[in-house]
Amino acid sequence: MTTMTPSQAAANLGVSAETLRYWERADILSPVGRDSSGRRVYTDDDLESIDVVKCLRQTAMPIRTIREFVELARQGSGTERARLEMLRAHRDRVLEDIRRRQQALEHIEHKIDYYEEITR
């Protein structure tokens, strides 16, 4: 089993070590193991969980909702339908956000074209 220090895990996943500690305090990461000196060590399973949380945060899922999702996952079998529904609802919000941003980007591109034209 591969293990990493907090700084190695953070660098590997593109988040800060402080973010990892915050997510653990916020109860969206299970407490990580410790080495013989009491320092945190992250396993491959921890990294996989962190990667899911990172994805959900990058797509603006609130910490409260992530905590609910994680709690369902911790409960295990029998919660799959609820987790699926949470992810579907989140996907719909992400798609709507992408649509709005695409429209905004098109507007910005139009303005850039306009200003490039009049400043030639």
CATH code of the domain containing 74: 1.10.1660.10
Containing domain of residue 10, as a range?
Answer: 3-118
pLDDT exceeds 90 at position 25: yes
Question: Number of structural domains, the chain?
Answer: 1
In whole angstroms, give the CA distance from residue 20 to residue 23.
Answer: 5
In whole angstroms, give the CA distance from residue 12 to residue 50.
Answer: 11
Predicted TM-score (pTM) of the model is 0.85
**Each residue of 70-103: pLDDT tens digit?**
999 999 999 999 999 999 999 999 999 999 999 9
**Each residue of 32-79: pLDDT tens digit?**
999 999 999 999 999 999 999 999 999 999 999 999 999 999 999 999
Q: What's the pLDDT score for residue 2?
A: 84
pLDDT exceeds 80 at position 1: no
